[in-house]
Amino acid sequence: MPVQLFDLTGRRALVTGSSQGIGFALARGLAEAGASVVLNGRDPARLSAAAAQIPGAASLLFDATDHTEVRQAVDSFERATGPIDILVNNAGMQHRAPLEEFPADAFERLLQTNIASVFHVGQAVARHMIARGRGKIINIASVQTALARPGIAPYTATKGAVGNLTMGMATDWAKHGLNCNAIAPGYFDTPLNAALVADPDFSAWLERRTPAGRWGRVEELVGACIFLASDAASFVNGHVLYVDGGITASL
């Protein structure tokens, strides 16, 4: 039956940066599709609170920007608990400032959080997936993978890099049975965008600019994630799937 293509029963999914926002919504959606989910974050209290809201969820505390810590956490989890079949690289941050005044330390944090973490966690998990000959890696990109807006040039650079790293992962790892793809959300009502959501002028602009005429809801990303994590996407590799209300399709 076609619906069975989307069944994630018996699979385990690790979602980075999943104590809130998009990461939490994706983890909950994967769980509802049958997967055992593992939440990740750096704040123990927030991580435990998030895990308590998803029946059967586990948590794995590590800093996704620390290569050694990531490797130790993933290797230890695989030995003690079992395979990670699905990885969603969601950890990310934003910083807004005019490019000519953009703080160098903020630029470095963006590089580490938004792109280095995808490399660190992706590599650590892929080593085990390669040995098993199967696995799904889903990186969270952005409309800024393809577009730019004033005040977020470094963020745009990191999300462009996520798209290119996704293609590189597919190019290197598809032959080992891995599917490596990305989801590129448009403008969603999340804690990361709280300041923009609260700005009536920006919200009015966004509604005019987006063909769908509104902000996205985080639940609207779940279907794309389940698709890319499932057997339905068995021959999809190196793809960036835009879930953006049509914003990248329209001038």
Q: Which residues are catalytic?
A: 155
SS3 string of 30-53? HHHCCCEEEEEECCHHHHHHHHCC
Give the separation between CA 192 and CA 169, rounded to whole angstroms.
27
Find out whether 249 and 210 touch, Cβ atoms under 8 Å: no
Find out whether 196 and 202 touch, Cβ atoms under 8 Å: yes
CA-closest candidate to residue 117, choices 140, 95, 99, 100: 140
CA-closest candidate to residue 206, choices 153, 156, 244, 241: 244
Within the chain, strands assigned E span: 12-15, 36-41, 58-61, 86-89, 135-140, 178-185, 240-243
Find out whether 244 and 186 touch, Cβ atoms under 8 Å: yes
